[in-house]
Chain A
């Protein structure tokens, strides 16, 4: 039998895996319009998708190295900021990713059918992150 701490750990790990792919899609979708890191994070947070800085910035670099984003250092409000936006390759890939995402969510809806699954109490790390 699992203890509460163990089940919370398992949930946190599964949630992390679930979020990993979603975050990529969300970041790419948000960067249809140009943003710098701080504003991008705020915009995602405003849409209900909180993301840690230590996750966002390395992710942006990875997506840029994959050619999905382009970036540019530019001065704004007397400070140098790095602005990101979708590259032509990113614009080509994102619709396919979104189509895949919709296919998965509709499949999941069909699997769940009319069943309503009661949500378990939220984990401590989840609460902390969203604060």
Chain B
């Protein structure tokens, strides 16, 4: 069944009307209809005959889709002021970091290591992670959209002070931030691993031939101090990533952590053999040899830890010393391009 010109016009006007605000629909559609009618008459006068279906379709296509036509009458909408975007991204990153790093380390990583089918649990965790990510992004976005909608200002426009503006970040700052952030994530993961591996454990079993590695009493002694020290280090790394210019505080804390670590290593080295071997399938001589070999390896590793820790402590002491001697920097000359 052929479509008449008035049918085509009515369909077009109806589609435009549907997309307009209700209060203005009739008024706007009447005006657009009148304009289209004038165009049709002008075209017919030029051609000398009534417009055919194809001519009218061409005219409507030239006018634009109903969405385009209606769009011109709608107010410009935005979720938030572009000026708020940098703050939005910063808040989003911080929220994601604070929510998901601990969540991953303590809630997901532990069960994954413990259950018989970690693949299945990992998949479930990934689904939960995505769901939580969408919720967090949604919530942060909603809060910012509401702030923008109701014109909440963080600071009165005239009350700003040039002295209180943040310092200009250098490339060194960015590198330091990432280094400490990586250190913090590693620290949390290491603490979770230690907590899971050594919690109330006195031996490691399940080796071929029924062998067991029996932990010396010193491991129980250092369990909580190691956990505390690792988490403290991770926490200060996170603080350092947020405030990379707190170099003196950072160096002081680092020296304290290094000292604590040296004391713990000294306690393990002083306590005699860190581990013993037991097992019904090995001879006493083999057990003794294995224990000697493993204890020797542990001691070598601990001595390496001591060397690295002393090196780190010296580095931090030198940094503190240099910081005290350094003269205040002159105001740099500005170059405008």
| A interface, CB within 8 angstroms of B | 36-38, 53-55, 57-58, 61, 73, 79-82
- Contact B73–A53 (Cβ < 8 Å): no
In the complex, how many angstroms separate the beta carbon of B28 from the nearest chain A beta carbon?
A: 8
Pick the contact of B34: A55, A61, A82 (CB < 8 A). Answer: A82
Residue on A nearest B75 in the bound complex, by CB: A62
- How many chain B residues touch A (Cβ–Cβ < 8 Å)? 15
A80: B residues at CB distance < 8 A: 30, 34
Residue on B nearest A52 in the bound complex, by CB: B64
Stretch at the interface among B35-43, B201-209, B234-242, B308-316: B35-43
Pick the contact of A58: B34, B37, B39, B73 (CB < 8 A). Answer: B73
- Given contacts A53-B63, A54-B63, A57-B31, A79 and B37 within 8 Å (CB-CB): yes
A57: B residues at CB distance < 8 A: 28, 31-32, 35, 72-73
A79: B residues at CB distance < 8 A: 34, 37
Residue on A nearest B71 in the bound complex, by CB: A54
- Contact A54–B34 (Cβ < 8 Å): no
Residue on A nearest B68 in the bound complex, by CB: A54
| CB pairs A–B below 8 angstroms (8 shown) | A37-B34, A53-B35, A57-B31, A57-B35, A73-B30, A79-B34, A79-B37, A80-B34
Give CA–CA (A58, B30) in the complex, Å.
13
Pick the contact of A37: B35, B68, B72 (CB < 8 A). Answer: B35
- Contact A54–B64 (Cβ < 8 Å): yes
Interface of B is mostly: helix
Q: Considering the complex, which residues of chain B in the window 15-60 have a beta carbon less than 8 Å from any beta carbon of chain A?
A: 28, 30-32, 34-35, 37-39
- Contact B31–A37 (Cβ < 8 Å): yes
Pick the contact of A38: B35, B64, B69 (CB < 8 A). Answer: B35
In the complex, how many angstroms separate the beta carbon of A97 from the nearest chain B beta carbon?
A: 22
- Contact B72–A38 (Cβ < 8 Å): no
Give CA–CA (A53, B73) in the complex, Å.
12
Residue on B nearest A36 in the bound complex, by CB: B34
In the complex, how many angstroms separate the beta carbon of B46 from the nearest chain A beta carbon?
A: 13
Pick the contact of A55: B28, B32, B38, B72 (CB < 8 A). Answer: B72
- Contact A38–B73 (Cβ < 8 Å): no
Give CA–CA (A36, B37) in the complex, Å.
13
- Given contacts A80-B34, A81-B34, A82-B31, A54 and B69 within 8 Å (CB-CB): yes
B39: A residues at CB distance < 8 A: 38
Give CA–CA (A49, B72) in the complex, Å.
19
**Nearest 5 pairs between A and B by C-beta?**
A58-B72, A38-B38, A54-B72, A58-B73, A38-B35
Give CA–CA (A58, B35) in the complex, Å.
13
In the complex, how many angstroms separate the beta carbon of B275 from the nearest chain A beta carbon?
A: 67
Give CA–CA (A96, B39) in the complex, Å.
35
Give CA–CA (A81, B37) in the complex, Å.
11
Give CA–CA (A53, B34) in the complex, Å.
12
In the complex, how many angstroms separate the beta carbon of B30 from the nearest chain A beta carbon?
A: 7
In the complex, how many angstroms separate the beta carbon of A112 from the nearest chain B beta carbon?
A: 24
B69: A residues at CB distance < 8 A: 54
A73: B residues at CB distance < 8 A: 30
- Contact A61–B73 (Cβ < 8 Å): yes
In the complex, how many angstroms separate the beta carbon of A37 from the nearest chain B beta carbon?
A: 5
Residue on A nearest B24 in the bound complex, by CB: A61
Give CA–CA (A61, B28) in the complex, Å.
9
Residue on B nearest A54 in the bound complex, by CB: B72
Give CA–CA (A61, B68) in the complex, Å.
16
In the complex, how many angstroms separate the beta carbon of A21 from the nearest chain B beta carbon?
A: 17
